[in-house]
Amino acid sequence: MADIIQLLPDHVANQIAAGEVVQRPASVVKELVENAVDAGSTVIQLIIKGAGKTLIQVVDNGKGMSERDMLLSVQRHATSKIRTAEDLFQLHTKGFRGEALASIAAIAHLEISTREEDNEVGIQLKIEGSTINDPKPIACEKGTSIAVKNLFFNIPARRNFLKSDTVELRHIIDEFHRIALAHPDIHFDFFHNNSELFKLPPSNLRQRIVNVFGGKTNEKLVPIKEDTDVVKINGFISKPAFTKKTRGQQFFFVNNRFVKNSYLHHAVSSAFEGLLKPGHHPGYFIFLEVDPSSIDINIHPTKTEVKFDEDQAMYAILRSTVKHSLGQFNVAPVLDFDRDSNLDTPYSYKTKLPKQPGVEVDADFNPFKEEGKGGVRVASKPYLKADRVEASWESLYVSVDSSENFKTVSIESESTANELFTEEETDISPTTYQLHKKYIVTTIKSGMVIINQHRAHQRVLYEQYLKNITVDTGSSQQLLFPLTLEFSTTEMELLKTIKDSLERTGFVFSEMTENEVQLSGMPLNVSESEVGGIIDQLLADLQQEIPESSLSQSDVLAKAMCRTLAVKSGAHLNTAAQESLVNNLFATKEPMVSPFQKPIFITMSLEELDKRFL
């Protein structure tokens, strides 16, 4: 029998290894920028073209590499931070070159230019599909510039699996945020298709957060700080009043490395218990400093998941730290034991009962009865309980019966008014009934129909918005004063791509700046107080997937709009609203299922009801 197992050629093994390390352009950005950080750089530039599919270039002013280091950095199993197996559990850096460069070189055109400070001339190395050319001298600045061109050029199947440019750019920006927040002392520049997205000068942590997410973020932050033997905690959390329905601004850093940990996230969420609106999530920027030997960061290939030795202690410390900060800065309600002594009851009045105040009314007062000279009314005598006189208010209307002007006046009797409504109209019963503020029950010839009001409204709005986006222009209501909304750079880039579609649904944009949008109009069924939350939810839904074709993008936008604006379960609908929703539902093209392929209604025949009573 022939042998089955055989060794792979080096170029094939490199491509397979690259598939594990390089999942998308954001993976390359993460490796190159982290390498630039560990090179001791103070200025790092990230240049992207075509959402990273065409070009990813990272330029730094770090210490550069020698010719030997540059050649070794593109070899497999070459690294700068591991010498023995024990070093895996004592990682203090992100890695100075090596590790990933060999995998990147196997699936892209790689170009490295570097110069050390002591050398007058730099070195350039070009690699095309694992083929290493001879290094050449080049004139360049101190530091290193690495350019990755035509990612996955030799693996078309992997390239076809990449998402749209908008989605890939969002992943790149997410990785850039994580590194920029972890190193506020480094200057970062980010360019995409020759336009500047971020310019982050060196600053403290609070200012770096404001520079990344917009100027109004400053008022939303609450500082937290705690030093223990187990962990040192510092950073910021968002005030409960500024929480969003999305999970965008949630960052955990362990030893300046971004990580994801659902256990610690639950600790922060539990600290906000009772302070958040339903469906809202807290934002936080929390830095944890622990002993590197007490954590394991190698349980995931991207090192974004960690395991702590003392996870229960970490949970308790983090939760109490967040709760303490919320109370310390008067964000959470607290009991105030300091009372004002002036509000206490005097000791001499301790045994006395409160006296009921009396109300005195002058029953003889008549503004039309007594008048003095010159038409000035003379005040009547003060009211005394002893000589109370019955009020003769009937005298005011004595002259009405004798007046000639009122002889022909006829007063409509109550019975005549009741005759305006016929007996048939008053006996009409409603054709719909709302059950538990969730379902609408209506009758048909063969039995009855039970309709899910939320899904029914989703179907109605979906077809309405899809028609407005693709064919018509939606109606909008003009605002008396323009509404200003603030968004991050990432959200603004996405908002620009869907601006035309939003305008066809009824939104009117009067002005768009770098981080702010002014709305002068909105769809008819949207209130001004809901606009901010609606657009936030729209952007969150659209960030998950933006198709290339305009028709598919219109479908995603219409689904996001109907999901946000549809009447929710638990909302009360009057009879007119119920009947309108039922009529509009059965006027749609597909009344059976919602836009998300969920059933909208069920029917129950009279025969099924009769069987229930057998």
Per-residue three-class SS string for 285-314: EEEEECCHHHEECCCCCCCCECEECCHHHH
- What is the domain-level CATH number for residue 108? 3.30.565.10
- Considering the domain boundaries, does residue 428 fall inside one? no
C-alpha–C-alpha distance, residues 473 and 457, integer Å: 20
Provide the residue count of the chain. 614
- The DSSP 8-state label assigned to residue 346 in this structure reads P
The single-letter code of the amino acid at 565 is: L
Helical H segments across 347-413, by residue range:
398-402
C-alpha–C-alpha distance, residues 268 and 322, integer Å: 7
- What is the domain-level CATH number for residue 589? 3.30.1370.100
- The reported pLDDT for the residue numbered 49 is 92
The single-letter code of the amino acid at 251 is: F
- Verify that 181 and 221 share a domain, yes or no: no
Report the C-alpha dihedral over residues 91, 94, 97, 98, rounded to 10 degrees: 50
Name the domain boundary from 310, 328, 346.
328
- Considering the domain boundaries, does residue 340 fall inside one? no
C-alpha–C-alpha distance, residues 469 and 551, integer Å: 9
- The reported pLDDT for the residue numbered 487 is 80
- The reported pLDDT for the residue numbered 14 is 61
- Sheet containing 439-444: which strands, arranged edge to edge? 432-435, 439-444, 447-452, 601-605
- The reported pLDDT for the residue numbered 90 is 53
- Verify that 136 and 18 share a domain, yes or no: yes
Backbone φ/ψ region at 407: left (φ over 0), alpha (ψ -120 to 50), beta: alpha
- Verify that 100 and 176 share a domain, yes or no: yes
531 and 482 in contact (C-beta within 8 Å)?
Answer: no
In which residue are the tokens 């998941």 written?
305
- Verify that 143 and 92 share a domain, yes or no: yes
- Considering the domain boundaries, does residue 420 fall inside one? no
- Verify that 175 and 298 share a domain, yes or no: no
- The reported pLDDT for the residue numbered 386 is 45
- Verify that 257 and 121 share a domain, yes or no: no
C-alpha–C-alpha distance, residues 184 and 206, integer Å: 9
- Considering the domain boundaries, does residue 585 fall inside one? yes
Residue 26, both tokens: 């954001």
C-alpha–C-alpha distance, residues 43 and 221, integer Å: 27
Q: Residue 228: helix, strand or coil by DSSP?
A: coil
- Verify that 120 and 266 share a domain, yes or no: no
- The reported pLDDT for the residue numbered 405 is 52
Name the domain boundary from 302, 328, 354.
328
- Verify that 133 and 214 share a domain, yes or no: no
For residue 562, give every residue at least 6 positions away whose Cβ sits within 8 Å of its Cβ, in sequence order, or none. Answer: 457, 458, 459, 461, 462, 465, 595
- Considering the domain boundaries, does residue 31 fall inside one? yes
C-alpha–C-alpha distance, residues 315 and 228, integer Å: 13
- What is the domain-level CATH number for residue 261? 3.30.230.10
- The reported pLDDT for the residue numbered 330 is 64
Residue numbers in the chain where pLDDT is lower than 70:
1-3, 5-21, 77-99, 129-130, 298-303, 330-345, 347, 350, 369-430, 472-474, 541-553
- Considering the domain boundaries, does residue 365 fall inside one? no
- The reported pLDDT for the residue numbered 9 is 67
Residue 116, both tokens: 């050390």
- Considering the domain boundaries, does residue 433 fall inside one? no
- Verify that 319 and 231 share a domain, yes or no: yes
Neighbour tally for 326: CB within 10 Å: 22
- Verify that 225 and 302 share a domain, yes or no: yes
For residue 541, give every residue at least 6 positions away whose Cβ sits within 8 Å of its Cβ, in sequence order, or none. Answer: 556, 559, 560, 563, 564
Helical H segments across 381-471, by residue range:
398-402, 414-418, 423-426, 453-470
Neighbour tally for 263: CB within 10 Å: 13
Of 234, 601, 228, 567, the closest CA to residue 442 belongs to 601
Q: Residue 149: helix, strand or coil by DSSP?
A: strand
C-alpha–C-alpha distance, residues 481 and 63, integer Å: 55
48 and 191 in contact (C-beta within 8 Å)?
Answer: yes
C-alpha–C-alpha distance, residues 348 and 1, integer Å: 110
| Complete DSSP assignment for 257-293 | EEEB-HHHHHHHHHHTTTTSPTT-B--EEEEEE--GG
Q: Which runs of E-coded beta strand occur in 139-272?
A: 143-149, 187-192, 195-200, 221-227, 232-238, 250-254, 257-259
- Overall number of domains in the chain: 3
- Considering the domain boundaries, does residue 607 fall inside one? no
- Verify that 157 and 65 share a domain, yes or no: yes
Give the domain extent around 551. Answer: 439-602
Name the domain boundary from 271, 296, 328.
328
- The reported pLDDT for the residue numbered 18 is 53
- The reported pLDDT for the residue numbered 430 is 59
- Verify that 189 and 307 share a domain, yes or no: no
